[in-house]
């Protein structure tokens, strides 16, 4: 279902000068509804439509001309490659239009390290794409969604946001999709990039950008999902004491094209996983070793099997490996992608 909505402005001549931002809603807690305004757990995520989200922030009409579209209305744990492909294609269509200046995407926080990174690699535009979300449902006292949405539109509408790759805006911070991840299951101040920090902050309605990312994104990315109906299957297998080899047998049986190993420390592989990884590689499955620690680099190590994820966490590694496999199954080229994206 697509809902189109224009936030009315009293002075159309002035509104014509404002940047045109399209908000794509996908669900999450920012669209969550609870039985009371003190209930912040056990509520339904993805319950409210884009019209309700926009009507909570009439202040938007002072900073942008805003249209809203409903892409999905789900908890982000139910986000799938199908929705990601639809989202990326829609963003590319919108940003190709000369009358659209930027896109904001509302999303659940739980997989807000994955979807922004997917778009960071597949959007072909310098125009801003800003994800936002909330930790408290829209019905809660001191809901964080409305201010996050306002700030995300502020960033999307600003010329200084162009060419920075896909961004994630919550809690007055602007993060890069390449690095940012949820770091705390329940706190509002949860989106962080432990090593790299933020691209910038918003203070008093003003944007303060501090840095840019070197990693390849958007217009320089080789990945193009136009016309793609599905993505190659990639599983994540978690490394831990006593981790069993049969996880690899299951992945092989399900004919996955790639496996990301969420290894211990700098991607250390147990004897059992070592055997599983080598078995998978013998079936031409591409395996990438990543780290379950939450930050740091997994360096190449000729004593351990598989490619290495650089500083991508396991969930982001899976996104890159799916896209890499749309282009090649050559391990050297795929390792080069992991070194540079
Ligand atoms: C979700 O990820 O959809 C639910 C949790 C949240 O948005 O905070």
Q: What is the CATH number of the domain that holds 320?
A: 3.40.50.40
**Contact of 287 with 277, CB cutoff 8 Å:** yes
Of 14-18, 189-193, 234-238, 315-319, minimum mean pLDDT range: 14-18
**Contact of 189 with 109, CB cutoff 8 Å:** no
Q: What is the helix, strand, coil percentage profile of the chain, to 5?
A: 30, 20, 50
pLDDT at 33: 97
* 89 pLDDT more than 60: yes
Q: Which atom of ligand 1 is nearest to the CA of 78?
A: 3
Residues 212 and 259 in one domain: no
Task: For residue 61, give both structure tokens.
Answer: 């009409």
Q: Give the domain extent around 100.
A: 16-220
Residues 46 and 192 in one domain: yes
Cα 156 to Cα 67: distance, rounded to the nearest angstrom: 13
Residue 3 included in any domain? no
Residues 336 and 262 in one domain: yes
Count of domains forming the chain: 2
Please tell me if the CB atom of residue 148 comes closer than 6 angstroms to any atom of ligand 1: no
Please tell me if the CB atom of residue 45 comes closer than 6 angstroms to any atom of ligand 1: yes
Residues 168 and 245 in one domain: no
pLDDT at 6: 45
Cα 249 to Cα 109: distance, rounded to the nearest angstrom: 32
Please tell me if the CB atom of residue 57 comes closer than 6 angstroms to any atom of ligand 1: no
**Contact of 137 with 40, CB cutoff 8 Å:** yes
**Contact of 144 with 173, CB cutoff 8 Å:** no
* 10 pLDDT more than 50: no
Residue 5 included in any domain? no
Q: 4 or 116: which carries more pLDDT confidence?
A: 116
Residues 47 and 165 in one domain: yes
Residue 4 included in any domain? no
pLDDT digits (tens, 9 = 90+) for 185-225: 999 999 999 999 999 999 999 999 999 999 999 999 999 99
Residue 183 included in any domain? yes
Cα 326 to Cα 334: distance, rounded to the nearest angstrom: 11
Residues 128 and 197 in one domain: yes
Query: Could you say which of 9, 26, 29, 122 is catalytic?
Result: 29
pLDDT digits (tens, 9 = 90+) for 277-323: 999 999 999 999 999 999 999 999 999 999 999 999 999 999 999 99
pTM for this one?
0.95
CA–centroid distance, residue 189 to ligand 1 (Å): 14
The count of C-alpha atoms lying within 13 angstroms of the C-alpha of 136, restricted to the half-sphere facing its C-beta, is 20
Residues 252 and 173 in one domain: no
What backbone torsions phi and psi does residue 175 show, to the nearest 5 degrees?
-110, 160
Q: Is 80 tagged catalytic?
A: no
């Amino acid at each position: 279902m697509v809902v189109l909505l224009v936030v009315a402005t009293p002075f159309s001549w002035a509104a014509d000068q404002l940047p045109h931002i399209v908000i794509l809603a996908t669900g999450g807690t920012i669209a969550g509804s609870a039985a009371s305004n003190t209930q912040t757990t056990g509520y339904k995520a993805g319950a409210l439509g884009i019209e309700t989200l926009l009507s909570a922030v009439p202040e938007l009409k002072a900073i942008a001309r805003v249209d809203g579209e409903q892409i999905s209305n789900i908890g982000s744990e139910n986000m799938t490659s199908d929705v990601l492909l639809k989202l990326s294609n829609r963003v590319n269509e919108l940003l190709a239009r000369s009358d659209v200046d930027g896109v904001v995407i509302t999303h659940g926080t739980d997989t807000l390290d994955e979807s922004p990174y997917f778009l960071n690699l597949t959007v072909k535009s310098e125009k801003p794409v800003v994800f936002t979300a909330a930790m408290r449902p829209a019905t809660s006292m001191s809901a964080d969604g409305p201010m996050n949405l306002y700030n995300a539109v502020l960033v999307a509408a600003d010329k200084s946001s162009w060419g920075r790759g896909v961004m994630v805006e919550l809690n007055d911070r602007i993060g890069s999709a390449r690095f940012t991840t949820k770091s705390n299951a329940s706190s509002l101040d949860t989106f962080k990039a432990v090593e790299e920090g933020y691209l910038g902050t918003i203070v008093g309605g003003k944007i303060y950008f501090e840095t840019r990312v070197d990693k390849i994104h958007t217009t320089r990315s080789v990945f193009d999902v136009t016309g793609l109906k599905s993505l190659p299957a990639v599983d994540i297998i978690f490394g831990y004491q006593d981790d069993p080899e049969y996880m690899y047998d299951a992945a092989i049986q399900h004919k996955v094209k790639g496996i990301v190993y969420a290894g211990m420390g700098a991607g250390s592989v147990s004897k059992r996983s070592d055997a599983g990884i080598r078995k998978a590689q013998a079936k031409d499955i591409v395996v990438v070793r990543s780290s379950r620690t939450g930050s740091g680099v997994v360096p190449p190590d000729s004593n351990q099997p598989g490619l290495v994820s650089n500083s991508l966490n396991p969930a982001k590694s899976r996104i890159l490996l799916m896209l890499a496999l749309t282009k090649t199954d050559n391990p050297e080229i795929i390792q080069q992608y992991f070194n540079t994206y």
